[in-house]
Amino acid sequence: MQEKIIRKILYVSGTVTMLAGVQFIAPTLFLQASGMQVGDVTGLFFARHWGLMALVLGALIIYAVRQTQARRAILLAAAVEKLGLVIMVAINWAEPALQGLHTAAFFDGACVVLYLIYLLGKQPNQQAST
């Protein structure tokens, strides 16, 4: 994957991932906009925590645009987290309370595929065999 392409992918995926940080600031509003509702203190606490974690992960993905030495580790961690969300949503696909996560699961699934293409591709320091 060309450097120019991966940079664009990281900017877009990092920015979209960071948008979930709104859930840290306004969890009820964000969840309702996603078609989900959490009314108890524990649910709101975990929703806010998830929003903060998404904000940090998105910021790290954007950081990886310029910090190529950290990129592989960041993308591996992001791929694992995003794959986890995709699997959890897929397992609970028919759960009405989680319908608002379907779009996030599709986006995260696409990110996982793109990150893995990059991670499994030829490394810049690998030399072609002759």
How many structural domains is the chain composed of?
A: 1
43 lies in which domain range? 3-120
Query: Domain for residue 129, yes or no?
Result: no
Q: Which of 19, 29, 39, 12 is nearest to 97 (CA)?
A: 39
Please state, for a pLDDT cut of 70, what percent of the chain lies above it: 93
**89 within 8 A of 105, measured Cβ to Cβ:** yes
* Rounded Cα–Cα distance for residues 54 and 23 (Å): 9
- The pLDDT tens digits for 30-66 are 888 877 777 788 888 988 999 999 999 999 999 999 9
Query: Domain for residue 125, yes or no?
Result: no
Query: Domain for residue 56, yes or no?
Result: yes
**What is the SS3 assignment for 38?**
coil
Structure tokens belonging to residue 4:
């120019």
- The pLDDT tens digits for 81-96 are 999 999 999 999 999 8
7 Cβ contact partners less than 8 Å away, ≥ 6 residues apart: 65
Query: Domain for residue 126, yes or no?
Result: no
The pLDDT assigned to 125 comes to: 59
